[in-house]
Chain A
Amino acid sequence: MSITDLIYLSQKSLRSNILRSILTSLGIIIGVSSVITMISIGSGARIEVEQQIERFGSNNLIVRSQSSSNRGVSMGANSVNTLTLKDMEALKEELPAIKAIAPRVSLSTQIVANGNNWLATVTGTTNDYFDLGNWKFENGRSFEEEELASGSRVAIIGKTVQKNLFDTDSPIDEVIRINKIPFTVIGLLDAKGGTAWADLDDTVIVPLKTAKQRLVAKKFPGDQIRSMTINVRSSDLLFKTEKDVDTVMRKLHKISANGNPDFVIRNYAQFLNARQESSRVMSILLATVAGISLIVGGIGIMNIMLVTVTERTKEIGVCMSVGAKKRDILLQFLIESLMISLIGGLIGIALGLGVIFGVSEYFKWKMSLDYMSIVLSFVFSSSIGIIFGFYPARKAANLNPIDALRYE
């Protein structure tokens, strides 16, 4: 008896009791859709974390100024920039775990070029900024030592700025005006895309010295800076270095170990860990649901198949009397339970896809459809059909033809 014949006979009997077949596969439906959702959440989180690292660089700590209060009295707006280039040099010297530090000053201002104008964030920094932030150049180059040292009026622009100011894709050697001061464009950065809170490509980068002398001389007098990005040599040193930076900074700023610091250290890895952790908890929860429903679903299939075998005892006898072998009966019932579980699996996959798209639409939660999860679901549901269908099928196959024929 060929497989197609077996499938034909099985679908006949399943269709004669279609509601029961669907209800039986409910456990599998829930189990499989949970498996798919679980895997999607997991790989979505992983991809998101990878993207964040891609965008912001890995193993980075960011130290920012924070307005301090002295005995409950705010020190005023000028005290906001508490970080200095001296702090930066000191950190580099004291902590060998630090590979590089990129200082940063910034202002938000109008950029004019080509008869267009655009409000963008202008950053003054050094070449380390590009390596640490994982910036790549679509066109042009980074700063030359001479430009950094002399405070040349050169600028590197982001994709958003380029699109809003220029018609051309290569704005190299064009002139833009920042606060009415002309700068020559020497580089164009690759697009990074937006995050939920900011467009990373809406940026103009100039040498630190140029910015301090010509753009933010009042805002960041002397060697004050807004923030610095610290790159740590390896990820296992990240958390220890975070503590060390805190200690060194407190010493430099003469703040006691339990005093209010005038700086804040952001460790991006913390956010990523939290994100990964929450999706891991979610995945464990779903895996539990999936596991329980698959087992319950399997028991449901076994239960219904046992009922079916009993109901169709006489029929089994008839089939045996016309020449069905044990193997034929076994296969027919196995294929029936396999079909129930596969139909459940298919509906479960559809439901899981629905959940994935629903969740990523409504909650803006990053989900990634892993095609392996569909394959996995098929394997899962079919093995459940075979495992839990085997006992009833064997029971049917081992019936004595006479007893089966006489059964009423």
Chain B
Amino acid sequence: MININSLSKEYVMGDNKLLALDNIDLSINEGDFVSIMGSSGSGKSTLMNIIGCLDVPSSGEYHFRDNNVSTLNSNKLAELRNKDIGFVFQNFNLLPRLNAQENVVLPLLYSGKNLKERNQLAIDALESVGLKDRVHHRPNQLSGGQQQRVSIARAIAGSPKLILADEPTGALDSKTGLEIMKILNDLNAKGITIVLVTHEDDIANYGSRIIKMKDGKILEDKKNVNN
């Protein structure tokens, strides 16, 4: 599903060049649950952004399903993000003015689904994360765990192939964090590929494969025996 060949990402800041990703090779199969670990500055977020088609590599190749992502323009990237990829962020990133249902509907708006269909999809998604009775609540009326569940609902509403979770439990207490991980686990069990970025070992342990990164390089890539 994901094929990355000698991919590098370089940031230029004034006179300094920062090599965020240094000649990375990586492939992820459909149905994998991959945890990417590393300290801050290790390049794990940059890798995640490139996998999520939010950013393009400086050099190297990235194939996502049948697309050579390095060659796509911003519209095609937006389409990929819309149809095939769902994001779950550390701080939820819900739009404060919209209620839970409207937040979940957002990606469906951009994909041009009709009103009836997208409202149904949004309600189904919210129901599947256990928020059926919170559809008309705004983010500030919801707890952190509920907000993260809304953002998961938003990620899965368009039935994506891949979910990218960037420290999804980072802003939550451990009990709520476990609930969120359980939801992600269930989604993986249904066949959705999950790439998780974290620096917590017990969260990373949910993955079937753990990748450790340092200084823009992959340090270690192994099957998770604990899982």
| Residues of chain A at the chain B interface (Cβ within 8 Å) | 1-2, 5, 9, 12-13, 16, 314-315, 317-328, 401-402, 405
A325 to B98, CA, bound (A): 20
Q: Find out whether the CB atom of B97 lies under 8 angstroms from the CB atom of A322.
A: no
A314-B93, A315-B95, A405-B54 given as contacts; is B74 within 8 A of A322 (CB)? no
Does B78 sit at the interface, judged by CB under 8 A? Answer: yes
CB<8 Å pairs between A and B, sample of 17:
A1-B112, A9-B109, A319-B95, A319-B106, A320-B54, A321-B52, A321-B54, A321-B93, A323-B78, A325-B74, A325-B78, A326-B75, A327-B75, A401-B54, A402-B54, A402-B55, A405-B89
Q: Which of B79-87, B181-189, B215-223 contacts A (4 or more CB under 8 A)?
A: B79-87
Does B49 sit at the interface, judged by CB under 8 A? Answer: yes
Set of chain B residues within 8 Å of A1, measured between Cβ atoms: 109-110, 112
Q: Which residue of chain B has its CB nearest to the CB of A317?
A: B93
Query: Which residue of A318, A323, A327 is within 8 Å of B82 (Cβ)?
Result: A323
The total of Cβ contacts below 8 Å across the A-B interface reads: 63
Set of chain A residues within 8 Å of B54, measured between Cβ atoms: 320-321, 401-402, 405
- The A interface is mostly helix, strand or loop, or mixed, namely helix
Set of chain B residues within 8 Å of A9, measured between Cβ atoms: 109
Does B209 sit at the interface, judged by CB under 8 A? Answer: no
| Residues of chain B at the chain A interface (Cβ within 8 Å) | 49, 52, 54-55, 74-75, 78-79, 81-83, 87, 89, 93-95, 97-98, 106-107, 109-112, 154, 158
Q: Which residue of chain B has its CB nearest to the CB of A318?
A: B93
A1-B112, A12-B97, A13-B97 given as contacts; is B106 within 8 A of A322 (CB)? yes
B155 to A: closest C-beta gap in Å: 8
A315-B95, A322-B110, A325-B75 given as contacts; is B82 within 8 A of A402 (CB)? no
Q: Which residue of chain A has its CB nearest to the CB of B83?
A: A323
Set of chain A residues within 8 Å of B75, measured between Cβ atoms: 325-327
Given contacts A318-B93, A319-B106, 17 further A-B contacts (CB under 8 A): A12-B98, A317-B93, A318-B94, A318-B95, A319-B110, A321-B52, A321-B81, A322-B110, A322-B154, A323-B110, A325-B74, A325-B78, A325-B79, A326-B75, A327-B75, A401-B55, A405-B93
A1-B109, A402-B49, A405-B54 given as contacts; is B81 within 8 A of A322 (CB)? yes
Q: Find out whether the CB atom of B82 lies under 8 angstroms from the CB atom of A322.
A: yes
Most chain A CB neighbours (cut-off 10 Å) among B75, B89, B110 = B110
B134 to A: closest C-beta gap in Å: 19
